[in-house]
Amino acid sequence: MTTTEAIIRAIKAVPAGKVASYARIATEAGIPNGARQVARVLHSCSEKYALPWWRIVRASGEIALTDADGGLLQRELLLEEGVFFKSARVVDLEQSGDY
């Protein structure tokens, strides 16, 4: 299994209504400091592998994408799943983080 495959599996394992950080996914995939690999996979493989890309946010809970770039859509998708927000672009990790 390649690291990319491991990352894909880790992303798919995040349940609806929850979010995970890039670092968390990287750790799950066995790449302790591989947050940027997760970013790369999301960028290039989301469509092909039907990844729940909207469930991945920054370690702070903040949505990484700009509103114009998809951040607005991400917020909508998360709200539909019942994810709690602390502010417009920041997920409440106490309630909706980890799993």
Q: What is the DSSP string of 59-75?
A: TTSB--S-IIIIIHHHH
Sequence length of the chain is: 99
Specify the DSSP class assigned to residue 75. Answer: H
Q: Does 13 bind DNA (CB under 7 A)?
A: no
Q: Shortest distance, CB of residue 95 to DNA, whole angstroms?
A: 18
The CA distance from 39 to 50, in Å, is 15
Q: Shortest distance, CB of residue 82 to DNA, whole angstroms?
A: 19
Q: Does 87 bind DNA (CB under 7 A)?
A: no
Interaction site with DNA (CB under 7 A): 2-4, 21-23, 31-40, 42-44, 46, 53-54, 56, 58-60, 64-65, 70, 74
